[in-house]
Chain A
Amino acid sequence: MDQKLKLSEIHQGDSLPSVVKHVTQKDINLYAEASGDFNPIHVDEAFAAQTPLGGTIAHGMLILAYMSEVMTEAFGDRWLERGKLSVRFKAPARPQDTITARGKIDSIEDKEGVAYVNCSLECCNQKGETVIVGGAVVKL
């Protein structure tokens, strides 16, 4: 996997490449089949309608995959072998939502010759509501 952003080319405040995805119930069902997570809150519309959420929601790990895609686009293999993330799921992503995953570089720290790139990450829906928020660190 190519590293798109080189250390010499990145700066504090830079935006990372955004990822935009339209989520459908079909995507959620596909993810359930792929991951083995058939929790009815994701795949059973009748069950989900009776819960406080009022309908099915996407798997958190599906939406988190979009966030990881932002980091993979930016840092390639370095993300896959030297990446760390910490996120909170703030709101559900629902079928027909358009999710934008974006990030920016908060700081770059040099520790004993290794650059630690600290990024803030966020996934928002089409209403601008935050679905996932958190941070990531990648060592370059």
Chain B
Amino acid sequence: MPPTSFEQLAVGYEFPPTSYQLTETVISKYVEAVGGQQDFLKSGVVPPLAIAAYAMDALAKSFSVPPGSIHASQELEFLKVVPIGSTISCGGKIAQKVERGRLNLVVLEINAINQDKEKVLTGKATIAIPQM
């Protein structure tokens, strides 16, 4: 998918809902990458930041930002313990766009629910996108 420019992003755009499974293999890989969080594997629980990271990745499959875009801020609320093996469905929308000098900022709202339709996470990410 070609990178979507700042101008193409419409406030209110809702990402198509998508789902992903947090298998032991997936979480083992995540735990190895962040290091030192082996207790999650022993407890059979998904690290909360992993839920957020995979939700953002799932949304990114329908939306690309230009290379060089960086994370400016993040809000997250964790609402439920997620056992390893859970299937998470996530959605999101573009909540805000701000042009500030040479910075283009896009605010994304994300939410994630488990297979029992319980909300497990909500959040808001601000991405700084380079002017193209």
Contact = CB atoms under 8 A, between A and B. Distances in A.
B32 to A, nearest CB: 6
Interface stretch (A5-13, A74-82, A105-113, A122-130): A74-82
Interface in B66-87: 67-82
The prevalent SS among residues of A at the interface is: helix
Contacts of A114: none
Nearest to A57: B70
Interface residues of A, number: 40
A37 B37 CA distance: 20
Contact of B75 (A1, A19, A40, A85): A85
Given A35-B54, A41-B70, A27 B81 contact: no
Contact of A89 (B33, B67, B72): B72
Interface in A1-38: 1, 19, 21, 27, 30-31, 33-37
6 contacts: A1-B39, A64-B49, A79-B48, A87-B73, A87-B74, A87-B75
Interface of B: 26, 29-30, 32-37, 39-40, 43, 45, 47-50, 52-54, 56-57, 60, 65, 67-82
Interface of A: 1, 19, 21, 27, 30-31, 33-37, 39-41, 47, 51, 57, 59-62, 64-66, 68-69, 72, 77, 79-89, 92
